Structure 1
């Protein structure tokens, strides 16, 4: 009852206190205090201070009243707190009683728990002791049975007992308990030593049995013992035995190769490359046959680690012997010294010479048809180009075979775990692995993959093995690389430069065919394509990169520049004869025209030939047979870098076309225009219009003058060169033509006649060339369009309405106004 009476007495003062506080805040917020920022006079400041003092006194009174009202509330709260003391004391007494009761039970539970833990530990130790006893007993029986099986030469049973003994934990095997229990009178040594000695006896027996089986060609027996090595813990030794066996097979092949090495001089030009190919083919067949067996019994990747190193050592030994024999038999060192000491000065000499045109009979389209750059009768003393070509061909073939073999090994030994990403079937891949060495044109093994014969439990072990590229450490690979950089590159560079020099030396412009051409074109590009194709076939990315750089520099400096200098020399030679009119000027003009036509055609066709070479060599399908996928992007970039030569050909062609046009054609075009419009007038009435229609004199005169100036170029130029020449002529002709027209006057019939003349001339020119002629006549056609309009429409409206109707004006509004003023 007391507590229930205290609740309303407590809440009422609280409400009163809240009202007092609210009243205080209200009175504070409602006080008329002035804003200090508005006090601008002394009197206003004094009034504000008085008001502030009054307000402060009111606040003090209100606070005193509130404190007085809150004293009963504080006293009542103190009384309530004092009444809670006895209840807290009761709670403390009950807690002490509970603590006394539970302390005894907790002590009992702790003693029980400790006893249970002791019992569990004793039971665990008993179980461990029993397990040790069982395993030691099993170890003892396994060793006894193993010894008996070895004495009886029952190797399958011995392997089974050995595996049982090896499965025992090493801690148990080397424990003092096992050393005390296991030894017997027949086997007195410690279990670990006994097992090791028996395993060594088995290793010796298995090795001897395997070697005997391989000598007897008993594949079943050899396979039986080979797969027992890893089961008894001799995997490395088994791989070594198998590696020795495999190297023996390679040595047998090596004896045949050694016998054939001495017959090199009487064999084909690629005799040593063929020997090397036979070696690689034999190794590929061995790998294809034996890798699945090793990986199936020893785990994936063990063939590469345990067997392939030995095979590669034999391959390097035999391959290096072939390379050394090739060097000696082909006299490579002597040929290389000749090349390095031979000074090619022909190209530099040609740059300063001017060769005259001598008509010759038609010659074959390729050097293969007769005389070539390397078979010239008047070539100077020096290295024999044919011998160098044979050496380069064979060395490129050696590089190609090594590249193929390297990609084969990588696909079989390094890419074993990527079989899920391959597109070919396992059977097709195995066949390709062998056929690729038999067909020299098939040199891509990038998609090869070995058959998967590993059990699932060995995959994790295979994935953890570090992959090593065996060919990167190969002595044969290093020797091939040194031969490509130290022999192939100097010789190939000399061969290309000397061939270009000889091609210029025997250069014969052919004027019996139209368009004119020269022997230099086919000779140079036949050699260039052969050199670049041979270079790509080496499958060596550094060699390809360096040779393409050399080829670009050589073609630019010793082919393009020589032709440009030749044409400049022609101009200097005939320029003196062209200053005076007469027969000498006409003869000089014909000579320059002929010379320029020949070599401008050569430059134009050279750009087409170069584009064709880039297209052929840059075929991804062809390159994929010679380079790894990781090298493809770089190889394509190297091949496509030759496109700078295409641009260089076109730039040189454009420059020399401008030179010929400026010196021989451009001065004569103005006379064509003047002769065309001589005595011509477009101020026509009906009679004069009919006469102009009948005579068609403007079109006829233009055609006559055009053919006199340009018709001769149509037969001697290639189509592209002729189109470019016509384009230059029109560009040079149309601006003066427009100025000439803007200086004339037109009647209505005269404007109509002018339109027919322009259309007739453009139609004639369109029939003479395959380029877009009508586009160049757009401004003249728009002038004719304006002249034929009625004169009622304002020029600005005419221009805007034509734009709105879709006409793309080439004339400005001011020009339209000027043309409209020409109408009478």
Structure 2
């Protein structure tokens, strides 16, 4: 027999799919009551059989339920089934009607499509017919115009009405080519008149071309401006614009040659103003370009309307040949009189540290004059190029209609844009050839290269001279003459390069200037700072052993001390002036509209001035550290030594006594103030601030060392807090909040020593982590334990257990 407990376990279940919470609870309860036994296969088999029997009973019960539900639906839902069947039948009938309608619609659409194709074909045929009719009408009109031109051309030529004759030829040359193909047809009646008109107009074109050429040449020879302007306008109408420009340019070239000879003659004679002999060649070039600009300005309007901007560029190339010839002669004279090639060789030897006799070295003042004149020459060239670009290059070539009569409106948008792009590229290439590939452009670039070398030499020699003549400016001055001299030289050279209008020369000048600052000037100041700050204790022993030389030793020490302080202040002042120079240049250049490429070049170059300023600022900080180490640091340590001798196991009476008779801090701050006041008049403000900050850091370090040697009670810590606040107030008053930050670590130690309990100390420590700045390091946990161990009234075990 099966186990009763197991049988009752499975019989207590409920059918599947129903709530079985009660069953599960009962099963779990009985399962917990059964004692643990070893695994028995026979018992497991019995359990499975009982479970199978239960599942069969559940299956039978479910089948009965399904049968009952089906029987109920059969009894109550017969009428519904019949209604549903009727509805489905009606729906099928309606779908048949819809299917028939869809077939009829398809047939109608096919008929409509066929009709649409027929209509489309007829419309297309009408379009073709219309196009042919329009073409025929155009051809008939062209044929009529051809006859009219042929009839009137001879009369216009005989009566010297060349404007009308040119219009007839222009109309003849712009007719549709289909007109001229008709003359080759075999039908004699249709082609005789066309062939006859074509021959007349072809012959008339040759005759008119010869007449216009001869009359324009004659007007040029006679310098008859009105006749020249009359005939030069007619050449584009007969499709010979190059011929007209070439002949008209003969007259303008004669004017340019005359202008060039007059200016060269005045230049060789020494000019008209003796006060401007130093810029004689620059003035000559400026006057020449001014005259050429007037010539172009007065003659371009005559050509612009009839020739178009594309041909104006070609015309400028013709004139540029004479301008290049004048510029070549000017540079040859400039090189010979100013000895430019000779100076370039010597300057190159100097800049590359080649051996050179002192007698051969050029005078920087001479180089200064030549560099200024080259800049003025480049300024004149840049002004002329800007005039040409504004007068010709800035306009879009598509805005000018060519005389051939092409109508851009008949071309689709895409083709028009493509043609515009190609024309723009061609124009830019021509402008580049005119501005940069001409003799004026290439020679001026070479001249600017020479200028950069001359400018570098001038700055080098001027800076070296400023270093040799370096002297204190006045009795109360903190800096020497080298500061103003160097900044003046660099500012002058950079602004002179900027005045030339050439951005590359500006960048090169700034590069050379910053290189001199970073090498020559920086090394000079660094050399004096490296000698160190000499105090009286450094030479007292020598003066004692050599009494006769004591005075000399003292004077040498004072001289070295003065040189150190001057170099220190010079570095700080140079850093400040270079930053001002950078800002001034940026402000000046921002007012001038430049291309993005040039703007980026200038911005990058000015950052080099800032980098040089940072190097001098770093040198000044290094000098301030050397001054602090030599003159102040050891004295602070000596004056802080008595601090740890004060007993910190105090009472309230001791605190009250210290309020009236402070044993340390008052005297300590007085001594520190004497040290700072002693050096303040001799230091630049930035350097003095750096020394004060170093002093604050050293005070905090020495006080921290002294605190580590003491034992505190609650009153002793309270006295320490008062002393700390006195020191903070003094340093904040002297150097501001930056000095207070140097005492941040000491403030954390004082705060930890002034707590009541260990738990409060941990709160203070965690709070200090959130309040510290990037310049102040938070105390670590081992350091916190060491600080709290200085409190004699805190148990050691509690301090060690801090986590």
Give the secondary structure class of the aligned counterpart of 2:467.
helix
Partner of 1:200: 209
2-structure distance, mates of 1:537, 1:492: 14
Partner of 2:680: 714
Partner of 1:607: 575
Give the secondary structure class of the aligned counterpart of 2:721.
helix
Which shows bigger deviation, 201-210 or 632-641? Answer: 201-210
- Please point out which of 153, 157, 170 is paired with 2:164: 157
Is 1:567 aligned to residue 529 of structure 2?
Answer: yes
**Preserved CA contact (<8 Å) 1:270 1:394:** yes
- Please point out which of 663, 672, 677 is paired with 2:630: 663
2-structure distance, mates of 1:797, 1:129: 104
1-structure distance, mates of 2:742, 2:534: 34
- Please point out which of 453, 470, 480 is paired with 2:444: 480
Q: 1:267-323 CA distances to partner (integer Å, 9 max, x unpaired)?
A: 512232122122223333444444444332222332112x21122222222223332
Which shows bigger deviation, 580-589 or 757-766? Answer: 580-589
Matches within 5 A, 1:673-822: 673-675=640-642, 677=643, 679-770=645-736, 772-791=738-757, 793=759, 795-800=761-766, 810-822=778-790
In structure 2, relative to structure 1, the CA distance for the partners of 1:647 and 1:689 (3 Å cut) is same
Q: 1:457-487 CA distances to partner (integer Å, 9 max, x unpaired)?
A: 47967764311121122112211211222x3
Matches within 5 A, 1:481-560: 481-485=445-449, 487-510=450-473, 512-514=475-477, 516-560=478-522
Gapped regions of structure 1 (runs ≥ 5): 1-116, 349-378, 420-449
**Preserved CA contact (<8 Å) 1:611 1:643:** yes
Give the secondary structure class of the aligned counterpart of 1:696.
coil
Give the secondary structure class of the aligned counterpart of 2:738.
coil
In structure 2, relative to structure 1, the CA distance for the partners of 1:532 and 1:816 (3 Å cut) is same
In structure 2, relative to structure 1, the CA distance for the partners of 1:704 and 1:586 (3 Å cut) is farther
**Preserved CA contact (<8 Å) 2:624 2:691:** yes
Q: 1:203-232 CA distances to partner (integer Å, 9 max, x unpaired)?
A: 2265258648x93454xx655443322122
Partner of 1:259: 265
- Please point out which of 326, 332, 336 is paired with 2:340: 332
1-structure distance, mates of 2:187, 2:296: 46
Q: TM-score, normalised by structure 1?
A: 0.67
Partner of 2:223: 215
Which shows bigger deviation, 397-406 or 808-817? Answer: 808-817
Partner of 1:232: 238
**Preserved CA contact (<8 Å) 1:229 1:238:** yes
Which shows bigger deviation, 245-254 or 520-529? Answer: 245-254
1-structure distance, mates of 2:145, 2:763: 115
Which shows bigger deviation, 573-582 or 629-638? Answer: 573-582
Which shows bigger deviation, 731-740 or 393-402? Answer: 731-740
Is 1:146 aligned to residue 114 of structure 2?
Answer: no
2-structure distance, mates of 1:657, 1:758: 26
Give the secondary structure class of the aligned counterpart of 1:315.
helix
Q: 1:496-539 CA distances to partner (integer Å, 9 max, x unpaired)?
A: 1111111111111346124x211111111211111222223333
**Preserved CA contact (<8 Å) 1:577 1:588:** no
Computed over aligned residues only, the root mean square deviation of the Cα atoms, in angstroms, reads 4.4
2-structure distance, mates of 1:347, 1:777: 57
Partner of 1:25: none
Partner of 1:630: 597
Give the secondary structure class of the aligned counterpart of 1:507.
coil
1-structure distance, mates of 2:696, 2:355: 37
In structure 2, relative to structure 1, the CA distance for the partners of 1:743 and 1:165 (3 Å cut) is same
Q: TM-score, normalised by structure 2?
A: 0.69
Q: Which has the higher contact order (CA 8 A, sep 6+)?
A: 1
2-structure distance, mates of 1:793, 1:658: 41
Is 1:409 aligned to residue 388 of structure 2?
Answer: yes
In structure 2, relative to structure 1, the CA distance for the partners of 1:618 and 1:152 (3 Å cut) is same
**Preserved CA contact (<8 Å) 2:285 2:380:** yes
**Preserved CA contact (<8 Å) 2:491 2:581:** yes
1:727: Cα distance to partner? Answer: 1.8
2-structure distance, mates of 1:129, 1:272: 68
In structure 2, relative to structure 1, the CA distance for the partners of 1:802 and 1:495 (3 Å cut) is closer
1-structure distance, mates of 2:170, 2:401: 26
2-structure distance, mates of 1:720, 1:347: 42
**Preserved CA contact (<8 Å) 1:264 1:329:** no
Matches within 5 A, 1:15-414: 139=146, 142-170=149-177, 172-173=179-180, 175-176=183-184, 190-191=199-200, 193-204=202-213, 207-208=216-217, 211=220, 215-218=223-226, 223-264=229-270, 266-268=274-276, 269-305=278-314, 307-340=315-348, 382-414=361-393
Which shows bigger deviation, 785-794 or 600-609? Answer: 785-794
1:643: Cα distance to partner? Answer: 2.8
1:803: Cα distance to partner? Answer: 6.3
1-structure distance, mates of 2:662, 2:299: 91
2-structure distance, mates of 1:588, 1:725: 24
2-structure distance, mates of 1:492, 1:593: 36
Give the secondary structure class of the aligned counterpart of 1:497.
helix
1:139: Cα distance to partner? Answer: 3.7
1-structure distance, mates of 2:290, 2:400: 19
**Preserved CA contact (<8 Å) 1:347 1:501:** no
The number of residue pairs the alignment matches comes to: 635
2-structure distance, mates of 1:586, 1:545: 48
**Preserved CA contact (<8 Å) 1:150 1:202:** no
In structure 2, relative to structure 1, the CA distance for the partners of 1:248 and 1:577 (3 Å cut) is same
**Preserved CA contact (<8 Å) 1:751 1:787:** yes
In structure 2, relative to structure 1, the CA distance for the partners of 1:347 and 1:497 (3 Å cut) is farther
